[in-house]
């Protein structure tokens, strides 16, 4: 592909700045700092766009206290309600979503992803009522999708006409969520999945390999929509060996990513920013994160209160950010705060999918919190913007559980050990992400601990029998616990009979329990 052809893409886009125009910095960008790429300069604030400067970052206490967040993984790919990665897989002949698209809309050379965008109307989108529901369920932060791999911005973007304020629902989705979340006192975040779009979207430039339309280009080859489908140099068509790396992503795309995400930060000043992957593109990435932290510091009067997530261990180990484990469960307490992000079903809404049960979500939450982590739960929204009845029932049951047990979740820290009973089988404990499917169902013999002040909370992770034995709290047990002075059951007003023996703490449990799922004991004296 020639430079002339690529430059024409920006002209087709209607004069919007930085639409595929390789080599242009974002409008109003500062001059280049010495040794840094164009468009990246110094700014007021405690952080410079360097790895060394970002290593001085400290995770804010509000995030460590929050423990639970909700996420709306919602955008134009939700329009057809056929699951995640639709905008990629509908261009892969033989995939489930290709077949779905062919059946419902026709061949992707004639009716492409761009043509599904008007189907996303968000006619039942009620951000205030949803935020209130999530808050009642114990969420202390909320994350909106900012831009997925589909290259469609969910705010009034300065850098692409393909955005929700101009197309589809014609709403600044990020802005609507932000207003609702902050109105209800929740911290607000956005997710960006854009950095890998250059490769991810390349399937739109392909064609069928077999059949009557073999070799006929998909609509990604149409000049009028090249600014949506990205002018990539080759087609990465196989998910099995998809190169989830920065290799072969050109500098023009890195600059464009930098401009788009900087614009998102400038317009909506998020408290949290999630990248689907590692911190990308070296200096461009450092500039985005330092800008996030500096904007937060200016809003907070000095110290940054923002959180950036990366899925690469080294980024968090070097102190730049918080580690995120997608659908991942750890087998030990991590010294630094971390997060699992997971979903009730598929990431984008899919009709008829089997959801996680309320017990599965609650078990994950308690297990993760006991290991110094947070859980961010995606409730995938249908095209309308209103969760389906099954989703609402699950969130409602989580809210009922939180009404009784949130004392042992919010504002807590891990104890000496996370608990008794592993969540993941030994064969799967080395996995870093995507190991939640290997979790076993936790039962009453599985215990998880949290600490707040002078109180130790012990969660029995299933409906216990008449007595619960907590072996870590015996007088001769390791780790050493102090002489217990009282044991109470959260949500139960009557006193409990208990005995601290040499090998275990034994607690009598009432027949009528205050929670359907994990129950929490408030224990004093054990920390002395």
- pLDDT of 217 reads 96
Comma-separated ranges of CATH 3.20.20.80 domains in the chain: 45-77+128-195+249-406
Task: Measure the CA–CA gap between 141 and 376, rounded to whole angstroms.
Answer: 9
pLDDT band at 63 (very low <50, low <70, confident <90, very high): very high
Identify the helix (H) or strand (E) that includes residue 520: strand 519-524
Angle formed by the axes of helices 358-370 and 389-405, nearest 10°: 40
Residue 6, pLDDT above cutoff 70: no
pLDDT at position 454 is 97
pLDDT at residue number 43: 81
CA separation for the pair 268, 174 (Å, rounded): 8
CA distance 198 to 150: 10
Percent of the chain residues topping a pLDDT of 90:
82
The predicted structure's pLDDT at residue 463: 86
Q: What is the pLDDT of residues 352-370, one digit of tens each?
A: 999 999 999 999 999 999 9
82: its two tokens: 């056929």
Calculate mean pLDDT across residues 19-48.
55
Q: What is the pLDDT averaged over residues 369-388?
A: 98
- Looking at CATH, the fold of the domain delimited by 45-77+128-195+249-406 is given as TIM Barrel (3.20.20)
Tokens of 35: 């040794």
pLDDT at 34: 55
Give the pLDDT band of residue 107 (cuts 50, 70, 90).
very high
Residue recorded with tokens 């489908």: 229
Q: Which segment of 3-7, 89-93, 185-189, 492-496 scores lowest on mean pLDDT?
A: 3-7
Q: Determine which of 215-219, 276-280, 433-437 has the lowest per-residue pLDDT on average.
A: 433-437
**Strand pairing report for 467-470 and 455-460:** unpaired
Mean pLDDT over the full length of the chain = 91
Neighbouring CB atoms inside 10 A of 23's CB total 13
| Residue 22 host element (H or E) | none
Q: Looking at the domain that runs over 443-524, which CATH code has it been given? A: 2.60.40.1180
Q: Residue 128 to residues 132, 181, 185, 287, 409: CA-CA distances in angstroms?
A: 6, 8, 12, 33, 24
Among the residue ranges 329-333, 347-351, 486-490, the one predicted with the least confidence is 329-333
| Reported pTM | 0.92
Lowest mean pLDDT among 2-11, 219-228, 519-528: 2-11
- pLDDT in the model for residue 40: 77
What pLDDT is stored for residue 342 in this prediction?
97
Residue 229: the pLDDT is 97
pLDDT band (50, 70, 90) for residue 1: very low
Residue span(s) of the chain under CATH 2.60.40.1180 come to 443-524
At 91, list the tokens.
């261009």
With 80 as the cut, is the pLDDT of residue 395 above it? yes
pLDDT in tens, 422-448: 876 654 544 466 778 777 889 999 999
Flag whether pLDDT at 16 surpasses 50. no
Whether residue 350 has pLDDT greater than 70:
yes
């Amino acid at each position: 592909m020639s430079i002339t052809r690529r430059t024409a893409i920006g002209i087709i886009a209607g004069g919007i700045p930085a639409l595929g125009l390789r080599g242009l910095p974002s409008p109003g960008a500062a001059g280049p700092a010495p040794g840094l790429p164009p468009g990246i300069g110094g700014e007021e604030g405690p952080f410079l766009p360097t790895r060394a400067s970002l290593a001085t970052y400290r995770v804010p206490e509000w995030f460590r206290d929050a423990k639970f967040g909700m996420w709306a993984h919602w955008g134009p790919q939700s329009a057809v309600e056929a699951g995640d990665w639709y905008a990629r897989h509908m261009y892969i002949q033989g995939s489930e979503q290709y077949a779905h698209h062919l059946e419902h809309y026709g061949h992707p050379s004639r009716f492409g992803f761009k043509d599904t965008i008007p189907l996303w109307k968000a006619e039942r989108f009620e951000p205030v009522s949803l935020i209130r529901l999530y808050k009642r369920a114990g969420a202390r932060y909320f994350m909106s999708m900012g831009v997925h791999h589909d290259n469609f911005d969910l705010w009034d973007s300065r850098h692409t006409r393909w955005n929700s304020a101009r197309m589809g629902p014609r709403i600044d989705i990020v802005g609507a969520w932000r207003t609702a979340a902050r109105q209800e006192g929740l911290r607000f975040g956005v997710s960006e999945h854009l950095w890998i779009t250059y490769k991810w979207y390349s399937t739109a430039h392909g064609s069928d390999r077999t059949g009557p339309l073999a070799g006929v280009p998909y609509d990604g080859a149409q000049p009028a929509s090249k600014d949506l489908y990205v002018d990539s140099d080759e087609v990465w068509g196989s998910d099995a060996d998809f190169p989830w790396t920065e290799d072969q992503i050109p500098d023009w795309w890195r600059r464009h990513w930098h401009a788009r995400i900087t614009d998102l930060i400038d317009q909506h000043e998020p408290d949290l920013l999630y990248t689907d992957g590692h911190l990308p593109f070296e200096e461009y990435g450092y500039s985005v994160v330092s800008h996030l932290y500096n904007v937060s510091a200016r809003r907070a009067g000095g110290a940054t209160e923002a959180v950036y997530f990366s899925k690469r261990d080294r980024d968090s180990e070097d102190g730049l950010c918080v580690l995120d484990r997608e659908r991942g469960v750890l087998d030990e307490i991590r010294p630094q705060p971390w997060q699992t992000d997971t979903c009730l079903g598929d990431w984008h809404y899919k009709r008829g999918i089997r959801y996680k049960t309320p017990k599965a979500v609650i078990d994950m939450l308690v297990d993760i919190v006991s290991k110094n982590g947070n859980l961010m739960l995606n409730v995938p929204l249908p095209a309308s913007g209103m969760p389906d009845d099954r989703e609402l029932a699950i969130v409602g049951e989580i809210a009922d559980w939180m009404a009784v047990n949130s004392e042992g979740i919010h504002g807590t820290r891990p104890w000496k050990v996370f608990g008794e009973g592993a969540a993941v089988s030994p064969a799967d404990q080395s996995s870093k992400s995507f190991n939640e499917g290997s979790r076993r169902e936790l039962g009453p013999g599985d215990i998880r601990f949290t600490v707040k002040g002078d109180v130790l909370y012990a969660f029995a992770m299933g409906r216990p029998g008449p007595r619960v034995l907590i072996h870590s709290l015996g007088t001769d047990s390791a780790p050493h616990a102090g002489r217990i002075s009282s044991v109470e059951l959260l949500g139960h007003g009557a006193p409990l009979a208990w005995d601290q023996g040499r090998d275990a703490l034994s607690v009598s449990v009432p027949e009528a329990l205050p929670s359907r799922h994990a129950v929490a004991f408030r224990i004093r004296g054990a920390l002395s």
